[in-house]
Amino acid sequence: MYLTKPEPNPPRLPAGPMAQAARVADAATADRMSPGTYVRLRRHKAGWSIPDLARAVAATPDDRQPLQDEFRAIEQSSSGIHRRRVAQMAELLDLDMAIYLALVGFAQNPSPDLPSPRICTGCGCTWDHACADKDGLCDFPDDKTDLCTACTHTEKD
């Protein structure tokens, strides 16, 4: 007489609300901002050019050109981490290091069960780095638009 070995249960995706949440998060993963784009948006918003930023950070004039190259590489980067340089930029720009590191983390390991931070696609503002305009602090007009009210007004003007 033979004993049939029980088949291991195939891994099954959770059904119900969990699966629903995963789908929502998948949609969010698709248009997550790259860390470099976030840095670039914050620099534009603060009104800094890359040469100005390099001049402010450089210890000696000889450092300026390599720093400019490095800042450009940071802004083009879709996943690499540049913690030290970006921390220097964060001192001059209204840039949230926690958001930057979160975006680097998502780029390196897209984990659909983590909520991604909501970032304005026009200026890179986030909830605790909101823009101030004539109407007060900016907000997101609705759940579907990733353009803050300050950027929406600017586009209309």
Interface residue list for Zn ion (CB under 5 A) = 120, 122-123, 125, 131, 138, 148, 150-151
Distance, CA of 123 to CA of 45 (rounded, Å):
6
CA distances, 3 to each of 6, 9, 10, 14 (Å): 9, 17, 20, 31
Residue whose CB is less far from Zn ion, 46 or 81: 46
Q: To the nearest whole angstrom, how small is the minimum distance from the Cβ of residue 123 to Zn ion?
A: 3
Q: To the nearest whole angstrom, how small is the minimum distance from the Cβ of residue 63 to Zn ion?
A: 32
Query: From the CB of residue 35, how many other CB atoms can be counted at a distance below 10 Å?
Result: 27
Residue 114 has what DSSP assignment?
A: S
Q: To the nearest whole angstrom, how small is the minimum distance from the Cβ of residue 120 to Zn ion?
A: 3
Residue whose CB is less far from Zn ion, 18 or 137: 137
Residue whose CB is less far from Zn ion, 63 or 139: 139
Degrees to nearest 5, angle at CA 127 with 156 and 89: 90
For residue 115, give the amino acid letter.
P
Q: To the nearest whole angstrom, how small is the minimum distance from the Cβ of residue 72 to Zn ion?
A: 23
Residue whose CB is less far from Zn ion, 67 or 102: 102
Q: Which residues contact 143 (CB under 8 A, 6 or more apart)?
A: none
